[in-house]
Structures are given as structure tokens and as C-alpha cells.
Amino acid sequence: AVVRGCGGVWRRAWRRGAGGPAPAPAPRGQRAVACNARGGAVPAGKSGLAPWVPVVGLEIHAQISSNSKLFSGSQVQFAAPPNSLVSFFDASLPGTLPVLNRRCVEAAVMTGLALNCSINKKSLFDRKHYFYADLPAGYQITQQRVPIAVNGSLSYSLCIDSKTSQMVTKTVRIKQIQLEQDSGKSLHDDTRSQTLVDLNRAGVGLMEVVMEPDMFCGEEAAAAVRELQLILQTLGSSQAVMAEGQLRVDANVSVHHPGEPYGVRTEVKNINSIRFLAKAVDYEIQRQIEELENGGTILNETRAFDSKLGCTVPMRDKEGKQDYRFMPEPNLPPLILYDAKSLPANVNHQQVVNIDWIRERLPDLPSVKRAKLVERYGILPEHSFTLLNEDGLSEFFENVVKQTQMKPKKVIGWILNDLLSYLKQHSLTVKESPVSSFLLADLLNLLEKKEISSTAAKQVLAELWKAEGKTPLEIVKEKKLELIQDQKELEQICQAVIDGQENEVIMMVLG
Amino acid sequence: QVSAALKEGRVTPTELCQRCLSLIKSTKFLNAYITVAEETALKQAEESEKRYRTGQPLGVLDGIPIAVKDNFNTAGIETTCASNMLKGYISPYSATVVQKLLDQGAVLLGKTNLDEFAMGSGSTDGIFGPVRNPWSYSRQYKEKSVLKSQSEDEESNWVISGGSSGGSAAAVSSFTCFAALGSDTGGSTRNPAAHCGVVGLKPTYGLISRHGLIPLVNSMDVPGILTRCVDDAAVVLGSLAGHDPKDSTTIQDNFKPFELPSLTDVSKLSIGIPKEYNAPGLSSEILALWSKAADLFKDAGAKVIEVSLPHTRYSIVCYHVLCTAEVASNMARFDGLEYGHRSNMNKSTESMYAATRREGFNDVVRGRILSGNYFLLKQNYENYFIKAQKVRRLIANDFVKVFQSGVDILLTPTTLSDAAPYMEFIKEDNRTRSAQDDILTQAANMAGLPAINVPTALSERGLPIGLQFIGRSFQEKQLLSVAKWFEKQVKFPVIQLEEVKRHDHDVFQHQKSASFS
């Protein structure tokens, strides 16, 4: 804190002085933001004033997993040749009209239900205007006034102590989920000073999930987004791969003293992984505290996270402060949803979306899956998190359990310590594992029947990774790793050992 | 009549098409057409001829020459909206209504002139120049106006066609086609129909697809139908109406085309005369004609009652806010990137946008964009846009109340006066003109109701005057039946086109068969 404090004073001195080299950035990260996961405040710095309370809210855009776009029939596909998936409507040719994609509505309803939202039986579409090269119509169709789902919540858990891996569960309120169009992509070619526009993404359906500022640090934000990601993937409403831009997170960050109103917030964009989300948020909290403690002010601005430098930098605003001139979308009638009660008789089921019908068909959500794993197999809750965190791992685990006599509690150790760490080391997904659940079960059965020792089992597993097509038993035989169950054979071996070490035996006998 | 002639082989589609094309040429001075699609029209006529020869015509419309206002997309034929912004623009698709007409064998002659992006009431404000009302060259007009102003040079006497679908109205009125599509947002089909002495139908909002119609105000735009008689309008309506999966605001049900009955008894009808339509500026001869028409119904035994639509007088201001707001939004797409005009300015993307839009749009369009954006600003939205929406609801409710009280049809004038000479018309700016001229037609758009102009009589100057019937939502059959009865009673005179006769005597004789149905 001393160093930091000096840094602060030092920096201001530099700012006052005319000329001179640009000041080096003040050392950061001397004190990581103390996220004690109890919603606790960050202790005050050198000022000795009241502690700081960071506040984090998130706006998440999830691309809907659908065959076609939100309002047109063009296909949705990642990394297709530029401008190959563009309908007349997507290019906003004059006279074209939006036609709502039912699948996108269903995906939003599913997501809303999974996030405990109330689903609005009547929601509206609006136009949000701004000029940008990748927004051909000059406006985006969104749901500003009445979104499809509101007032939900999301429970997520995070580890508060890495040693004991103790978990704590928290809840963030979901303000709303709105359906809206994605924009296209602009590529700026500075050398030839031109902008290239790809409209493949223009008009793809998005769900914007707005999380209330109920989080206090990067870890919490990251855990909440990870849980949301798992839910979306379980529902199939979005593939939610951050690296492919199917899940985009903007973080609103501010700090204030307890008992005081929230501070001025900044919006952090350009966050393209969950790990970076935690980093970006924590950096921004730290930056704001330092800025304020040094007598500065926080601007209500948009900042970009630079993953290489690990810091946030002010973004050049598109056109300064914008007035989006919202207006009802006149070409789309209100979106009406039904439930079992309100569903009119003799209606074509292809024409309507029935909330209850969707509710009944929701798959088990991650939280339910975890509870079931804990209950059914007696594993630790934190292990259930790890199992669900990797795509396919819980299924792998359950398959192994089914095929072996070994207790699930013991199987989980092999899964988490051996299988998972190997996969991580080699950056493999569960599906790409060279050892199938069948082979692992086979191996564990040998261990369980005491045919091999656990040390030997690890040796066999090491052989299995090579994926040479051998069964565990073959490897055991080849390497002579079996435990000896025959009394006579054991005596013979012992005798041989004794015979081979005559001197030592004599010494021992003599004492 | 023509349809029967086609069926009986008295005339072939190609002959008919060629006659129309030749008439278009000889009436070129009317400036009714922006693009004449001679080649494709002849090809379509040929196809039609084949169908007739094999005895398999597609229907009443097969082989019938039609024209389409130049704000409907037509694949392969330029669609300009009479704007520099879309000059040279060829759409890759056809509007649903255009496609439906083509699918039924109609022969598309070309695209008709309008005010830029349909913003206007005179068809005077497009980049291709004003449309001249064919009646300017009629014997009826000349006899009367020449007497008065012998000294004035003929060139300055011509009158406007009304707008914004003036090209379509003039095209139908001058016999160059049998039916034309217009669009109607505040009266743009009925107004020129009244001035050009043709039938102009604005159907119920949602009955006909807007897909492919380049929008003015999405929540009020309706494709309009211009024909020489009510029966023709009914036929065209039957071929266009119904659900379109490409337009979510169309009715879900399929539409059953109907044949119009020839009413003989109107005694069960209740005709409403809205007193607010006796608006300031209404010419005395139109007022007289209106009450004569009311008497006509009364004499035939119908109940004729005065009704009140108290909020109609707010419709102009209300329309101004709603129209400009939607215009500002709809025009945002014209940024020079994907299609249309692009300025050479390349200092920055923003400066390119600005220059493109400055060069591409005329003052009228730019003015509406500017005020629309003002009304949509966060601090103004509540005070202007929301209020205007509420007023719109009140205007619509007025109609609901009147119809609930037992009134079947409303009878009103369509325009305040007959067509003004061009030189008079342009003394006022577009905004003032539109506000005045839409006054009697606009409320029907606010309420989404069907309305029709029926040419009724000639004014003292020898120019057409029309009256308007407004019906209940989706009650086109009743509306058109009454209109047809009225049409039969008033016997509106046929235009005596002197110029054309002089140029093209033969052709003209044939074209006089007024209707095709």
C-alpha cells in the first residue's frame, strides 16, 4: 500500500509538471481486489477512509442457436464466406419486411423460464436508430419497452477458498431478457483506408440478458456468466461459445463507500473469455479505487479490455453520446404468447408459442443435475461442479460408474485427478479423450478386484493414453503388473529375493 | 369488356399491349410514366396470347395491360421512387402485389411517376418532373377554360394530376392502361383519382401485402388500386387481397374474391355524412355536389344522417408527427452503402453518409427526416410521438362509434376543390399543400379503414370531381357495392382527349372500352 500510495502522489506530481516523459503506469495489482465472496467491501487504501464497495452488473448478448435469422430466412452459420448468408431483408433492401422466427421466440422463452423470469404474454418490438456501416437499416430491431421476459434470477456458486475448495452459492437478479437483431461485422483496412462489411451476422437472433448490479468482483461475474453459459448450452438456446462471439459480455462497474449512492459507472467491453471477464472487472475496480483515492473522478465512459496488457482503456465512442430515437417497429404486431389457460381452442399449434408446453419440456438444468449427482453417487458438491463444467464429463463419469464395481466416490478421484488433469495438460475435450469410459471402467475393475495395485493402475493408465488399442488387461500382462494372489508363488519370489541377497540376510540374522 | 374481347379473340393480348405502348408514346407529354418496359411487356403479352390460344387463360386479368407506381419493387425493371437516391436501382425481387398480378397474366407496361418517395399531393415533386393531368388536354376542360383565359398561353394552363400516385391516375385516365397500382398513406391514391376522374380504392390496412412497397409510413401505407370503374377495382382487389407470409401485418385468413352485386335497392342502407368534412376551403361546387349525392341516396330510400367525427380536425397535426417520425426511420437505410446513390465524398464514413443523403434526397424528404428525428428525440418523444399516437387512437375511435351507431358507409368529398393549375399549385410549398390536400382522406388511413373515390361530375372548369365513400374495416364488398350503385347513378362523362385523338385516332377509339371486367 505504501508503494501504491507513493505511486499516486508521484503520478500527480508528474501531471502537474510540464513536459517530461510520460509517466510510467502506476504499479497495479499490489493488492488484488479482495473478493471474499461475502459481498464484503474492499479495505480502504492509505487514505484510511471507509472501505470501497465495488458493484458489478452485466449485459450479456447470447446468439440464439437457430437455423435461420431472427427476421429472415437466411441461414445462421459461423465463419461462412463473407456475405454468403444475406437475404434481401438482411441487406435492408427497400420494401422488405421482418418476419419473426418462431424458433428464436421459443429459445428466449426457454431461457427466460430457466432463469426464473416471468414471461410477458405480450411483448413489443422497437427500432433503435444509429448509423453504422454494419447496421444496414440504420436501426436495430430490439425490445426496449416490453421485453419478452423480466424479473428473473440466476444462482451460481463459486469457490471461496482454494485450499478447502469450499463453495458458496449466490444469486443475481435478472432484470430482463430481450430479443434483438445482431449487427454485421466491419473490418477496417487502415492501409487502404477502407472498411469492409460482412453481413452474415446481420440479423442473427440475440437474447440480451441484463443482470442487475448484484455482483462485487470479477470472480463472481465470471461464475455467474459460466453458470449462464452452462444453462444456455443445456437448453440448446445458444451455443454460447465466447471465442466465436456467441456469448458477449459487457460489464458495468462502479465503486462507492458503504451507505452512499452508487458511484459513476464505466462499461467494459471487448471481453472475450470468462477468465478475461474476471480480470477485466477486477482491474477496473482497482483502477477506479485508485483514481478516486488519488482525487480523480470516474467518467461515465466505455472502456475496452486489452487482454494482452491486462488492462482497460477508454474506447473511442462511435459518435459521442447517442440519442437512439426509439420508436415502435410498425411492421411487427405485438408478440403474443399463450399458456395452457389462454390458448384459444381450434388454433393451429404451428402458429402459436405455448409457454406451458415449453416449460414441461425443459431439460434438467445444471443445478438440478448437480444435486442429482451428489444424491445419487454421494460425491462432494464441489465435485459435481467440476463434472458439469466440462462438456461430457458427467456423462463420462456416469458411464464409468455403470460399468464398474468400484464405488462412485472412488471413481470420481480417478476422473478428476487423472482423466481431467491429463486432458487439461493436453488441451483435449472429454470427447477427444484417448481413453474411453469403457477402458477406464475396465482398468478400475482390475483395481477393484485387487488384481493390480493402485500404483500399477496408474502405470497402466499411462500406457492407455498412448491409445495403442490395448486393453488394460493386456498391458498388465505385458508389463507383469498383476498382484500375486498365489501363496506358493509369493513364497518362491520371497525365497528368490532372500537367496539373491545372502549377505544382507546374514547381517540381519546376526543383528 | 376487354377481357371478354380477349376471350372471344376479338383482340389479342399482343395487339392490346402494342396499342397501349403506342398510346404511352403519344401521351408522353403527360409524364405519367418513369419507365416503360416495352420489351418485357411484349414478352408477357406473347405468353398470354399463347395461353388464350390454348384456351387456358389464367383469369380475368390475363393479358390486361397494367401500370405500377414506381415505389413498388419490380424485379428487372428500375424502381426509382422518383428520387436521385434510387435512380438506376433495379430490385432483385418483385413486390407481392406485383408478383400476384404477373402470376395472373397481367402485362406490366411500366412504372408510373410520383412525388419523391410518395411525399406530396401533386405529383410535382419528383426528379422526373411533374405529371400533367390528362384532363388538361380534354375537350371538356378546353372549352371552359379557354373561354375564360384566351390570352393565356396553353402551356401554363395545364392542371396537376394530384398525388402522390399521379402517374398511375393519369395513366388510367388517359387509357394507356386498364388498371394501375398506387399507394395510399394519407390519400395518395384517392386524391389523384379524384383529380383525374378515375376510381381510386384504398383497401383496409392489412388486407393487401405491403411487401415490396417502399414505405412512407408503415402503419398507414396501403397499396391502392386505380381503375376506370368500380367493377374493375373489385377484380384487382380480389387478385391482390389476402395473407402474405412476407408481411406480418396482413390478415391471417385467406381472402375470397367476390363478384360485385348490382344493387337495385339501397333503402336498407344508412349513409353517414360527417359534418367535419365540410372543412374550411371546401369549394362551393363540391359542397353542392356532395349534398346532391346525399339526396340521391335519400331519394332512393336510404337513411342519410349527419354524423360527427370530432377528432378528425386534429388529424393533420397528428399525421405530421407520425408520418415524419416513420419517414426519419425508414429513410435511415439510404446510406449509400448497400444500394442506391453514393456520394464521391470519401473523407470519412460520416461525411460520405451526409453527402449521399444531401445529394440523394430532395428538400421535402430531408425536411421530413429532420422533423421526424426531432419528434423522436428522447426529450420530445413523450410530448409529440406518444401524444400523436393517442390522438390517432381517438380519431380511429370516432369511426368505430359512428359505425357502431348503425351507419354503414360514410359519404364525403375526396378533395377540397378540382385540380389546380400547376403554376398555382407550386406557389405553396409541399408541406402546406400536403396538409391541405390530405385533409379529407387522411383520417381513413389513421383508422385503417377502406375508402374509395368515385368520379362524380365535372366542375365548372370542366375538371373531374370525386366523392369518397368510407366503409367498415374489411367490409370492402359492401363499400364497393354502394360505390358501384353510385357510379351507375352519376354517369360520369368519358374524357375527350383532344391531343391524343389528334395524334393517334385509331388507337384511341379502341381504348375507349373503359373497363376490362
Nearest residue on chain A to B74, alpha-carbon basis: A95
Contact residues on chain B for A73, CB-CB shorter than 8 A: none
Q: Is B245 on the interface with A (CB under 8 A)?
A: yes
| pLDDT, position A203 | 97
CB contact under 8 A, B248 and A98: yes
Which pLDDT score, from 0 to 100, does residue A501 have? Answer: 79
Quickly state the pLDDT bin for A4 (edges 50, 70, 90).
very low
- The whole-number average pLDDT for the span A251-266 is 94
Considering only B196-200, B297-301, B314-318, which range has the smallest mean pLDDT? B314-318
DSSP string for A415-465: IIIIIIHHHHHTT--GGG-SS-HHHHHHHHHHHHTTSB-HHHHHHHHHHHT
pLDDT band at A31 (very low <50, low <70, confident <90, very high): very low
Q: Once rounded to an integer, what is the mean pLDDT over residues B238-264? A: 91
Contact at CB, A137 and B333, closer than 8 angstroms = yes
- In the prediction, which pLDDT does A451 show? 86
User: At A146, is the pLDDT very low, low, confident or very high (cuts 50, 70, 90)?
Assistant: very high
Which residues from A are below 8 Å from B353, CB to CB?
131
Q: Quick: pLDDT tens for A128-137.
A: 999 999 999 9
**Which residue matches cell numbers 401500370?**
B67
Whether pLDDT at A417 is above 60? yes
Q: Which band of pLDDT confidence, cut at 50, 70 and 90, is reported for residue B499?
A: low
Distance, in Å, from the CA atom of B32 to the CA atom of B128, rounded to the nearest integer, reads 10
Query: Is B440 within a domain?
Result: no
Is 50 exceeded by the pLDDT of residue A9?
Answer: no
Nearest chain B CA: its distance from A126 CA (Å)? 11
From the CA of B380, how many Å to the nearest CA of chain A? 10
Over range B406-414, report the average pLDDT: 98
Coil, helix or strand at residue A503: helix
Flag if A331 and B337 touch (Cβ within 8 Å): no
- Would residue B511 count as lying in a domain? no
Give the nearest partner residue to B248 out of A97, A195, A327, using CB atoms: A97
In total, how many domains does chain B have? 1
Q: Chains A, B: CB contacts under 8 A, how many?
A: 102
Q: Taking CB atoms and an 8 Å limit, are B337 and A138 in contact across chains?
A: no
- Rg, C-alpha atoms of chain A: 29
Statement: residue A46 has pLDDT above 70:
no
Mean pLDDT rounded to a whole number for chain B: 93
Per-residue pLDDT, averaged over A231-252, amounts to 96
CB contact under 8 A, B350 and A131: yes
Which of B48, B69, B145, B481 is labelled catalytic?
B69
Per-residue confidence at A505, pLDDT binned at 50, 70, 90?
confident
Considering only CB atoms, which chain A residues are within 8 Å of B245?
99
Q: CA–CA separation, A291 vs A4, rounded Å?
A: 12
Q: What is the mean pLDDT of residues B482-489?
A: 97
Is B342 domain-assigned? Answer: no
The pLDDT value given to residue B330? 98
Query: Considering B145, B164, B168, B517, which one is annotated as catalytic?
Result: B164
| Pairing between β-strand B270-274 and β-strand B303-307 as defined by DSSP bridges | parallel
Region B87-95: what's the mean pLDDT? 97
- B60 in a structural domain: yes
Say which range, A37-46, A429-438, B251-260, has the weakest mean pLDDT. Answer: A37-46
| Cα A27 to Cα A15, A112, A268, A297, B321, distances in angstroms | 16, 43, 21, 19, 56
Interchain CB distance below 8 Å, A133 and B349: yes
Percent of all residues in chain A with a pLDDT value above 70, rounded to a whole number: 89
Q: Do B333 and A136 touch (CB under 8 A)?
A: yes
pLDDT of res. A41:
56
Distance of CA A462 to the CA centre of its chain: 31
Interface residues on A facing B, Cβ-Cβ cutoff 8 A: 88, 91-100, 127, 129, 131, 133, 136-139, 195, 197, 319, 323, 325-327, 330-333, 351
Contacts with B217 from chain A: Cβ below 8 Å: 330
Q: Is the pLDDT of residue A140 over 60?
A: yes
pLDDT recorded at residue A32: 43
The model's pLDDT over A81-122, given as tens digits with 9 standing for 90+, comes to 999 999 999 999 999 999 999 999 999 999 999 999 999 999
Mean pLDDT of B221-248: 96
**Quick one: pLDDT at residue B264?**
84
Contacts of B206 in chain A (CB under 8 A): none
DSSP-derived pairing of the beta strands A205-215 and A53-63: antiparallel
Residue pointed to by grid coordinates 437448453: A235
Predicted complex ipTM:
0.93
Which one, of B183, B216, B221, lies nearest residue B330 by Cα?
B216
DSSP codes of every residue in B374-437: HHHSHHHHIIIIIHHHHHHHHHHHHHHHHHHTT--EEEEESSSSSPPBHHHHTTS-HHHHHHHH
Average pLDDT over residues A336-340: 94
Identity of residue B420: A
- Is 70 exceeded by the pLDDT of residue B373? yes
Q: Measured between CB atoms, does B328 come within 8 Å of chain A?
A: yes
Task: Please report which confidence band the pLDDT of residue B510 belongs to, taking 50, 70 and 90 as the band edges.
Answer: very low
Nearest CB among A131, A195, A327 relative to B329 is that of A327
pLDDT tens readout for residues A67-89: 999 999 999 998 899 999 999 99
- With CB atoms and an 8 Å threshold, state whether B249 touches A323: no
Examine the pLDDT at A315 and tell me if it is beyond 90.
Answer: no
pLDDT for B466 equals: 98
Which pLDDT score is estimated for A22?
A: 40
**Residues in chain B within 8 Å Cβ distance of A100:** 248
Lowest mean pLDDT among A140-154, A363-377, A437-451, B494-508: B494-508
Catalytic-residue membership of B145: no
Nearest-by-Cβ selection for B214 from A95, A331, A351: A95
Diameter of chain B measured on Cα atoms: 72
In the structure, what pLDDT confidence band is assigned to residue B428 with cuts at 50, 70 and 90?
Answer: confident
Point out the residue among A94, A131, A332 whose CB comes nearest to the CB of B248: A332
Given a cut of 60, is residue B452 above it in pLDDT? yes
Yes or no, beta carbons of B210 and A139 under 8 Å apart: no
CA distance A18 to chain B (A): 34
Catalytic residue chosen out of the listed positions B188, B434, B481, B517: B188
Is residue B367 domain-resident? no
Which amino acid type is present at position B442?
A: Q
pLDDT tens column, A473-492: 888 888 877 776 677 777 78
Residue of A nearest to B384 (CA): A327
Q: What's residue A492's pLDDT? A: 80
Instruction: Tell how many helices (H) and how many strands (E) occur in chain B.
Output: 20, 11
Amino acid at B150: Q
- What is residue A29's predicted lDDT score, i.e. its pLDDT? 40
Between A28 and B44, residue with greater pLDDT: B44
Q: Would B319 be classed as within a structural domain? A: no
Q: What is the CATH number of the domain that holds B132?
A: 3.90.1300.10
What is the pLDDT, as a whole number, of residue A166? Answer: 80
Residue B353: predicted pLDDT: 92
Residue A355 has pLDDT above 90, yes or no: yes
Report in angstroms the alpha-carbon separations of B419 from A118, A434, B164, B315: 58, 86, 13, 23
Reference A3, options A21, A24, A22, A30; nearest CA is A30
- To the nearest whole angstrom, how far is the Cα of B197 from the nearest Cα of chain A? 29
pLDDT category at A391 given cuts 50, 70, 90 is: confident
Q: How far is B88 from chain A (nearest CA, A)?
A: 14
Q: Who among B213, B248, B334 is closest to A99 (CB)?
A: B248
Nearest-by-Cβ selection for A197 from B246, B334, B337: B337
Count CA atoms closer than 13 A to A318's CA, side-chain side.
Answer: 11
Pick from A93, A136, A319: CB nearest B337: A136
Helix, strand or coil, per DSSP, at residue B68: strand
Report CA B418 to chain centroid distance, whole Å: 16
* H-run or E-run covering A185: strand A185-189
Which has the closest alpha carbon to B48: B37, B40, B39, B57? B57
pLDDT, tens digit, 9 for 90 and up, residues B114-173 = 999 999 999 999 999 999 999 999 999 988 875 555 545 667 789 999 989 999 999 999
Q: Would the pLDDT of B221 be above 70?
A: yes
Q: Establish if B96 belongs to a structural domain.
A: yes
Least confident of A170-184, A333-347, B352-366: A333-347
Distance from CA of B272 to the nearest CA of A (A): 31
DSSP state of B299: H
State the smallest CA–CA distance between residue A184 and chain B in angstroms: 12
| Beta carbons of B339 and A93 less than 8 Å apart | yes
SS3 track for A194-233: EEEEECCCCCCEEEEEEEEEEECCHHHHHHHHHHHHHHHH
Which domain range does residue B132 map to? Answer: 1-265+451-505
Task: Answer whether the bond into residue B459 is a cis peptide, omega within 30°.
Answer: no
How many angstroms away from the CA of B216 is the closest CA of chain A?
10
> B336 — contact with chain A (CB < 8 Å)?
no
> Does residue B69 have an active-site annotation?
yes
Full DSSP string of A344-380: PTT--TTT--BHHHHHHTPPPPHHHHHHHHHHHH---
